[in-house]
Amino acid sequence: MSQKKNNGTLVTKINSSDVRVFYDQAEALHGVDLEIYENSVTALIGPSGCGKSTFLRCINRMNDVIEGCRITGKITLDNEDIYDKGLDVVQLREKVGMVFQKPNPFPKSIYDNIAYGPQIHGLAQNRQEMDEIVENSLKKAGLFEEVKDRLNSPGTGLSGGQQQRLCIARAIAVNPEVILMDEPCSALDPIATAKIEELIHELRQNYTIVIVTHSMQQAARVSQRTAFFHMGDLVEVGDTDDIFVRPEDKRTQDYITGRFG
């Protein structure tokens, strides 16, 4: 169903088929089939409680942490089943990073926040390499200039927007292929939001990004593809321009025109 909007062929990075999620007995997702393309930004939108975060968390298996959460169906990353018995979640999460709604820097220095992931995955052989990783990640996240003089002060001492960019830098420090973002701007003011959106634009060159957002404008600004969820169903997915201009489903139309949600 995908049109070739972004010059060149589209490569499927993540593919989910008939994904159902149960919290204890309650089914929160009723069979989601969604393709996510490489080097593009996919926005997940929908009213509160429709299962956007639940779906997002399936992609890096963060639902494993939740007691009583069960998943059926299949999700592949580069054609590999990520729920396969033989798959190591640690390696999966090295490839699929995540940024949360509320900035959650670790109670460590700015430097150590970034170094955390590379150190866990053994990406740096020595201090010098680590310094490079930290500097590069901060630069990619557009934070380096602001913090280069206080890399050793605590990450929790930054402003909310800076903290969120720190979390993004932390995620890209392990050089992932996919970055999941769950309402990354909902705790930020417009200026900090604009910075993050700009950053998403740049990151798209190298990463596949899936972003959950409540803001139609944000979805329209940052994404190439948009998926609309409603009450646990994936109602409609398509190029962002099409979804916002010519939604096929009545529920999508109602939602983006602000009739509910």
Regarding 24 and contact with another protein (CB under 8 A), the answer is no
Q: Binding segment for another protein among 73-81, 145-153, 170-178, 223-231 (CB under 8 A)?
A: 170-178
Regarding 201 and contact with another protein (CB under 8 A), the answer is no
Residue from the set 20, 74, 121, 214 that interacts with another protein by CB under 8 A: 121
> Coil, strand, or helix at residue 119?
helix
Residue nearer to ligand ATP on the CB measure, 115 or 227: 227
Query: Which letter, b or e, does each residue of 80-100 get, where b requires 16 or more Cβ atoms within 10 Å of its Cβ?
Result: eebbeeeeeeeebbbbbbbbb
Question: Residues 64 to 93: which contact another protein by CB under 8 A?
Answer: 65, 67, 89-93
221 interacts with, out of another protein, Mg ion, ligand ATP, none, CB within 5 to 8 A per kind: none
Q: Which two tokens stand for residue 140?
A: 């990619």
Is 42 within 8 Å of 224 (Cβ atoms)? yes
Residue nearer to another protein on the CB measure, 29 or 167: 167
DSSP character at residue 154: B
Read off the amino acid at residue 157.
G
State the number of CA atoms in the 13 A half-sphere of 137 facing the CB: 28
Is 1 within 8 Å of 238 (Cβ atoms)? yes
Residue from the set 16, 53, 109, 226 that interacts with Mg ion by CB under 5 A: 53
Radius of gyration of the chain, Cα coordinates, nearest whole angstrom: 18
Is 53 within 8 Å of 180 (Cβ atoms)? no
CB of 171 to another protein, least distance (A): 8
Regarding 7 and contact with ligand ATP (CB under 6 A), the answer is no
Residue in the block written with tokens 């993540």: 14
CB of 182 to Mg ion, least distance (A): 6
Residue from the set 13, 52, 140, 204 that interacts with ligand ATP by CB under 6 A: 52
Residue nearer to Mg ion on the CB measure, 51 or 142: 51
Residue in the block written with tokens 């049109």: 3
Residue nearer to ligand ATP on the CB measure, 48 or 128: 48
Residue from the set 48, 125, 126, 128 that interacts with ligand ATP by CB under 6 A: 48
Regarding 213 and contact with ligand ATP (CB under 6 A), the answer is no
State the number of CA atoms in the 13 A half-sphere of 56 facing the CB: 28
d(CA 84, CA 64): 13
Regarding 225 and contact with ligand ATP (CB under 6 A), the answer is no
Residues making contact with Mg ion (CB under 5 A): 53
Residues making contact with ligand ATP (CB under 6 A): 23, 28, 46, 48-54, 66
